[in-house]
A and B are shown apart, each in its own frame.
Chain A
Amino acid sequence: MLKSRHLIEPEDFTKEELEEIFVLADEIIKKPSRFSNSCSGKLLATLFYEPSTRTRFSFESAMLRLGGQVVGFSEPGSSSVMKGESIPDTIRTVASYTDIIAMRHPKEGAPKLASIYSPVPIINAGDGGHQHPTQTLTDLLTIRNTKKTFSNLTIGLCGDLKFGRTVHSLIKALSRYENNSFILISPQELQIPSYIKNEVLNMKGIKYKEVERLEDVIGELDILYMTRVQKERFFNEADYIRLKDSYILDSEKMKLAKEDLSVLHPLPRVNEISYEVDNDPRACYFKQVKFGMFVRMALILKLLGVE
């Protein structure tokens, strides 16, 4: 039963519950008009304590396409947060007005804190470098549609694996399915945090390796998940400049890859995927964006208990 639940990290839902969401998302994809009034009279709050046009638009489009309405802020400067209001107080206030809340916050664990105080469902729309579960749902729905399975896959994750929260969430999620292995491709400075290695990969005995060069391993991959080296995650401009071009996917590297590789990217990209790759049928990142809206529609319906 997903009604009234929070989504803070992918593991909050069982595999069966995730499957429920994906099945509903597929129904929405097939016939969106059937759901265009499902959330009539319902209100979504989008509390974005840091800017993210893409994710906010995705949530807002999802709610509007379900016939619901949206209120919120897209930067804390325009809210009572600037007056020093605490997260628990903001949440208790907003939850009095709305039926469901999507929250993005630069501090890790902020949505978890919000969920403790909220009587309505909280959806974590990204918390610092920590978790981004709706991106994971997006990624999983994309994989489900392109690979038709969540098992027996070799998944390469490339770029900023240290601060890339989408990567952390995706590893946790795919670790729950059988016989997957991971190839972690990053510069030393941006390797995956030890808690993911210790608590997820090592604890579950999942096969993985850490490498520095994409071209050495691209031929082994069923899925290549590219990420941006995010400028805002660096304390030091010089480090950013030194590392930002480390991992660029281009047609030359794609020649080394399997014919049925799926290339995913949470977007926005800077220059880590050359534009020439966009026309390659293996490039799935723009399909992924659309899957993101559909999966958020399914999630909102499930958490509100309206279908």
Chain B
Amino acid sequence: MLNIDSIANGIVIDHIKVGCGFKIFNYLGLDKADCRVALIMNANSKKHGKKDLIKIENVMDLDLTMLGFIDPDITINIIEDEKIKEKITLSLPEKIENILECKNPRCVTSIERNINHKFVLVDKEKGIYKCEYCDHIYED
């Protein structure tokens, strides 16, 4: 049995799809964090059987909006004084930057270095994004 202490103040990113925890850990730059961070993989979950989980101690101001794109089923708990102060449910962000790359070979992003790859949500229900530069619909 692996035991990780609960945190008094900070953020718990819960219900991460198994295998996505490390991706989110990297996306949030937690490898460079100077606070205590726990990445728990394959934890037991009543909802899904297994889940990944990240606990970040004493940090409140992370930009979490992009997580909705990576996995909209994630739940985020803001912990203060050992209590859940706020539960944040994620939705698909209106804009995403530098997560996807446009697959249109004619897009300017295919030749220009050092520019932000930007996508805009065009269909909330179907989760469809288009490239902000060339309007090309992103497909997996």
Contact = CB atoms under 8 A, between A and B. Distances in A.
Contact of B133 (A106, A112, A129, A194): A112
Given A128-B106, A199-B122, A109 B114 contact: no
Contacts of B110: 107
Interface in A57-112: 86-88, 105-110, 112
Contacts of B109: 109
Contacts of B111: 107
Interface in A191-215: 194-195, 198-199
A107 B133 CA distance: 10
Interface residues of B, number: 20
A109 B113 contact: no
Given A108-B136, A113-B108, 8 more contacts: A88-B112, A107-B107, A107-B110, A109-B107, A109-B133, A129-B106, A195-B130, A195-B136
Given A195-B130, A195-B136, A108 B104 contact: yes
B92 interface: no
Given A86-B113, A88-B115, A130-B135, A109 B108 contact: yes
B131 interface: yes
Interface in B79-133: 104, 106-115, 122, 130-133
B122 A109 contact: no
A87 B104 contact: no
A112 B106 contact: no
Interface of A: 86-88, 105-110, 112-113, 127-130, 194-195, 198-199
Given A86-B113, A88-B115, A199-B122, A110 B135 contact: no
Nearest to A107: B108
Contact of A105 (B108, B113, B130, B135): B108
B134 interface: yes
B50 to A, nearest CB: 37
Given A107-B107, A108-B104, A129-B106, A113 B114 contact: no
Contacts of B112: 86-88, 107, 113
List the 8 shortest-distance A-B pairs measured between CB atoms, nearest first: A109-B133, A108-B134, A109-B134, A107-B108, A109-B108, A110-B108, A128-B106, A108-B106
B101 to A, nearest CB: 13
Contacts, number: 57
Contacts of B7: none
Contacts of A199: 122, 130, 135
A194 B139 CA distance: 12
B140 to A, nearest CB: 16
B90 to A, nearest CB: 25
Nearest to A131: B135
A48 B115 CA distance: 21
Contacts of A107: 106-108, 110-112
B133 to A, nearest CB: 3
A107 B136 CA distance: 12
21 contacts: A86-B114, A88-B112, A105-B108, A106-B106, A107-B106, A107-B111, A108-B107, A108-B135, A109-B107, A109-B108, A109-B131, A109-B135, A112-B132, A128-B134, A129-B106, A130-B135, A195-B135, A195-B136, A195-B137, A199-B122, A199-B130
Nearest to A116: B115
A36 to B, nearest CB: 37
Contacts of B132: 109, 112
